[in-house]
Structure 1
Amino acid sequence: MTLRTLILRYAAFAVAATLANLAVQRAILQVGETAVWFAAAVGAGTIVGLAIKYMLDRRWIFHDVGTGARNHARKFSLYTVMGGVTTAIFWGTETAFWLIWQTDPMRELGAVLGLSVGYAVKYNLDRRFVFTDRRLEGPA
């Protein structure tokens, strides 16, 4: 895979996961806007985005050919741990934007910025620690 293809795919998958994340957040925030609803929205959105991104990355970015429930459970667990590291970047940025401006558009801008930085870090962590069965050919 060329560097250009890798970047375009990864960016498209990040956008897809981000849009799903934000859609879930918006749906939950329609119910209420207290701190509890905000936390529920951020958490649920993150879970949905994580699941979508894992499925797309596994197949189309890292070309994972591993089989078996144990293998996939191990990889998804590692993927989730790596996501936990980078989710702090996302949550911190989104929450800071919400606390500063207290508007949905600014909260979402903070989410997009935080996710963008987080995804760049996450790609490198996943490549190094999660999808190790078959290394990518091409750019490191």
Structure 2
Amino acid sequence: MLPEPDVSPREPGARSAASDDRPAPGLPGPVRRTRAVSRKDMDMPLDRLSLILRYAVFALLSIAINWLMQFLMLRTIPGASAIYVALFAGTGAGFAAKYLLDRNFIFYHTSSDHRQELWVMVLYLCTSVLMTGLYLASQGLMYYKYGECALYYVIGTLVLLCGYTTKFILDGQFVFKQSADGRSSSAQA
């Protein structure tokens, strides 16, 4: 039995439900065409999605820098103190890379003078210290419990990812505050 044609009133130029059906080559019956997803159909604007993707890529890059520095330190420094040097060297290198990337490509921050730049860096360091405490504790515990193994890097990466997510929220709220024109402008010290 054939479907009844659509005779309901519609906007000029609109297609009826029946006109969206077309026979599928080699298959019996109609196939419903789907329309492309538009930006308004998405829950998240593309600029916000782009921001999240950039932040994730920068976090992964920072993690890679951190791991590379730790790996190099553990291979070049002998003795029991090597883990401490590796942890702090890796954390410092990751911090420097992440600060510059966040400042310039996530929050688009520009300071009015050196004093403000120093204040922003101190605030950024404070949010970093909060997250780094958990990271260092977990890495130290993992190293002394299991040594340098795959679990050491897996747990460290998970802690870093959770820390970066929390840090993004803290940095947006307290470090790189948005001004009326949408640009980042932190409060003066």
User: Which band: TM-score by shorter chain?
Assistant: 0.7 to 0.9
State the AA in 2 paired with 1:40. Answer: V
2:152 to 97, 104, 107: 107
Structure 1 residue runs of 4+, over 6 Å off? none
Q: Map residues 47-62 of structure 1 onto 2, 5 A cutoff.
A: 47-62=92-107
* Matched pairs, number: 137
Contact 1:89 1:115 in 2 (8 A): no
**1:57-136 to 2 correspondences below 5 Å:** 57-134=102-179
In terms of mean alpha carbon deviation, does 28-37 or 49-58 score higher? Answer: 28-37
Cα shift at 1:12: 0.4
| Equivalent residue letter for 2:54 | R
Residue in structure 1 matched with residue 69 of structure 2 by the alignment: 24
- For structure 1, list consecutive stretches of 5 or more residues without a partner in the other structure: none
Q: CA RMSD in A?
A: 1.9
Compared CA separation, residues 136 and 25, structure 1 to 2 (3 A): farther
| Rounded Cα–Cα distance in structure 1 between residues aligned with 2:80 and 2:154 | 19
Alpha-carbon separation, structure 2, partners of 1:54 and 1:82:
11
Q: Which blocks of at least 5 consecutive residues in structure 2 are unaligned?
A: 1-45, 183-189
Mapped partners of 2:157, 2:181: distance in 1: 27
SS of 1:35's partner is coil
Partners of 1:23 and 1:135 in 2: how far apart?
40
1:41-92 alpha-carbon deviations (Å, 9 max, x no partner): 0001101100100000011111112232111111011100110001012112
Choose from 54, 64, 71 the match for 1:9. Answer: 54
How far is the alpha carbon of 1:135 from its aligned partner? 7.3
> In structure 2, what is the Cα distance between the partners aligned to 1:72 and 1:55?
12
| Range that drifts further, 34-43 or 45-54 | 34-43
The alignment partner of 2:76 has SS state of: coil
Q: What CA distance in whole angstroms lies between the structure 2 residues aligned with 1:77 and 1:37?
A: 28
What is the aligned-residue identity percentage? Answer: 28
Higher relative contact order (CA closer than 8 Å, sequence separation 6+)? 1
Cα distance in 1 between the residues matched to 2:147 and 2:180: 43
The answer as to whether partners of 1:24 and 1:41 remain within 8 angstroms in 2 is yes
SS across alignment from 2:165? helix
